[in-house]
Amino acid sequence: MLNSSYYHLRVPAPPPRPALTGTLEAGIGIVGGGLAGLATALSLAERGAKPVLLEAETVGAGASGRNGGMVSAGFAASFRAIERAAGPAAAAALVALSRDAVALVRARIARYAIPCAPVDGVVIASWFDEPEALRREVRELNARHGMRLVFWPRERLRAAYPSPRYHDGIFDPEGFHLDPLALCRGYAAAAAALGAVIHEASPVLAIARQGRRWRVRTREGVLLVDRLVLCQSAYPPVVLPALARSVLPVFTYVVVTEPLTGAHAEVIRAPYAVYDTRFATGYHRLLPDGRLLWGGRISTRETPHDLKRLMRRDLARVYPQLADVRIEHGWSGRMGFARHKMPLIRELAPDLWVNTAFGGHGLNTTSLGGELVATALLEGDRRFELLAPFGLGWTGGGVGRLAAQALYHGHALADAVRAFWHRRRAALAGGREKRRMEKAIRRQ
């Protein structure tokens, strides 16, 4: 299942990296070969360190290489939620760091010639008829955080994306979209070229103190390091229960259509990535070969038997014009969320660090996390403390997964009710206007 995504099938995999065997010593060890671990390794290697990274499967096998491929500023938590928890100054600093991370991803793609096909532009399409609220949000974010967002009235939005479900929108010119698996592989190649060592097929079975060092045991070997960074997100090791309890695995689904031709090719009229404003957002983007990637939903089930049917129904709800397009690929991705929907970046114990929980917004924040950890370890930088208000907290275990599913269904119902009343108000307003015009005509 892990290697069944469109991304994995499109390009042959690079030669596998050897598993860790025997005993290896290093200054810094990293557990996890998704974007968080790879970004940490690359940030360290760019500063002259030679970390050793252990990955249970292959680089990018999890959600890092299987997602929608959108890179944009921000976090999974809203700006207002961050401000409430951390205060205005820290929130502003975190937003600035997230924008820096978007620029860093873009710069690394160019610097290391990563063939991930980046395309500029991300559109946030409003599911609700609230143009003034959207205008205020654009003005506030631009004024307070120096962003360059552009309000799109519905005429402009629907000219590019003719969906009856979309109203007004926000265009983010700094955001972009890409092939996330290619980005993972590019980060891995760049880190290795700078001296990092990456071992695949090396699942961590246990970690323990051994004197002043950390002992990391895999299936076939042992890694001894002075400092250890855990970056497994939704795959936390059971050997560290406190971390496993703090990260809730949540699944989302993605499908890819056949190449759009004829009338189908005329539906999506702009090259940007799009996501909507529902709690469980739907998102899509055109791929370089003319296919449409469509993603969304939130669930605690990894692989529903009717995945393609469910996603086709969601696609047709937004674009009835594409109801008969053929779905060729479908897969799930396991994301890791903390209860507050912010990354967990901190020192858990002396020389034991965590850099994880990037679900929902990981293509920029993982690079941010890598930078914060690398500069903390090598330069004494304390910026990671901006995230101190967002600590470890129990997500509820099995009960937490049931609660997450109930929360999703509750928010989905709230979104449906909210959209219904918007349509109802519009219909009533339209009826009143029609009656007013009829009376005016009769008076003439």
3-state SS assignment for residue 309? helix
Residue 203, pLDDT above cutoff 90: yes
Q: Identify whether 341 is part of a domain.
A: yes
Give residue 432's pLDDT.
Answer: 54
Q: Identify whether 142 is part of a domain.
A: yes
Give residue 242's pLDDT.
Answer: 78
Q: Do 320 and 407 fall within a single domain? A: no
Q: Among 22-31, 173-182, 402-411, which stretch is predicted with the lowest mean pLDDT?
A: 402-411
Give residue 2's pLDDT.
Answer: 44
Mean local confidence (pLDDT), 228-256: 84
3-state SS assignment for residue 216? strand
Q: Identify whether 394 is part of a domain.
A: no
Count Cα atoms within 13 angstroms, Cβ side, for 66.
26
Q: Do 286 and 430 fall within a single domain? A: no
Q: Three-state SS string across 75-122, please?
A: CCCCHHHHHHHHCHHHHHHHHHHHHHHHHHHHHHHHHCCCCCCCEEEE
Task: Check if the beta carbon of residue 352 is closer than 8 Å to that of residue 243.
Answer: no
3-state SS assignment for residue 171? strand
Give residue 443's pLDDT.
Answer: 59
Per the structure block, which two tokens stand in for 24?
């290896």
Residue 31, pLDDT above cutoff 90: yes
- pLDDT 10s digits, 249-285: 888 899 999 999 999 999 999 999 999 998 778 999 9
Q: Identify whether 187 is part of a domain.
A: yes
Q: Identify whether 1 is part of a domain.
A: no
Residue 378 phi/psi, 5° resolution?
Answer: -100, -25
> Which residue range(s) make up the domain with 346?
6-387
- pLDDT 10s digits, 387-405: 999 988 754 555 455 544 4
% of the chain exceeding 70 in pLDDT: 87
Task: Check if the beta carbon of residue 337 is closer than 8 Å to that of residue 35.
Answer: no
DSSP structure class, residue 413: H
pTM for the model: 0.89
Q: Do 174 and 285 fall within a single domain? A: yes
Residue 372, pLDDT above cutoff 90: yes
Q: Identify whether 318 is part of a domain.
A: yes
Mean local confidence (pLDDT), 414-429: 51
Q: Do 295 and 408 fall within a single domain? A: no
Q: Do 82 and 125 fall within a single domain? A: yes
3-state SS assignment for residue 348? strand
Backbone Cα Rg of the chain: 23
Query: CA–CA separation, 271 vs 288, rounded Å?
Result: 10
Q: Name the domain boundary from 387, 409, 435.
A: 387
Q: Identify whether 327 is part of a domain.
A: yes
Q: Name the domain boundary from 346, 364, 387.
A: 387
- pLDDT 10s digits, 306-363: 899 999 999 999 999 999 999 999 999 888 888 899 999 999 999 999 999 998 888 9
Q: How far from chain centre, in Å, is Cα 229? A: 21
Q: Do 355 and 413 fall within a single domain? A: no
Task: Check if the beta carbon of residue 224 is closer than 8 Å to that of residue 215.
Answer: yes
Query: CA–CA separation, 435 vs 439, rounded Å?
Result: 6
Give residue 246's pLDDT.
Answer: 85
Mean local confidence (pLDDT), 210-216: 96
Residue 198, pLDDT above cutoff 70: yes
Residue 65 phi/psi, 5° resolution?
Answer: -105, 15
Residue with tokens 């600035």: 96
Task: Check if the beta carbon of residue 284 is closer than 8 Å to that of residue 119.
Answer: no
Query: CA–CA separation, 178 vs 182, rounded Å?
Result: 8
Mean local confidence (pLDDT), 83-89: 96
Residue 194, pLDDT above cutoff 60: yes
Structural domains counted in the chain: 2
Q: Do 155 and 281 fall within a single domain? A: yes
Mean local confidence (pLDDT), 18-35: 98
Query: CA–CA separation, 339 vs 361, rounded Å?
Result: 15
CATH number, residue 223: 3.50.50.60
Q: Do 86 and 186 fall within a single domain? A: yes
Q: Identify whether 352 is part of a domain.
A: yes
Q: Do 413 and 366 fall within a single domain? A: no
- pLDDT 10s digits, 293-308: 999 988 877 777 789 9
Q: Do 406 and 325 fall within a single domain? A: no
What residues contact residue 208 under an 8 Å CB cut-off, 6+ apart?
Answer: 214, 215, 217
Angle at 108 between CA 107 and CA 110, to 5 degrees: 70
Q: Do 164 and 307 fall within a single domain? A: yes
Give residue 177's pLDDT.
Answer: 98
Give residue 411's pLDDT.
Answer: 45
Q: Do 268 and 323 fall within a single domain? A: yes
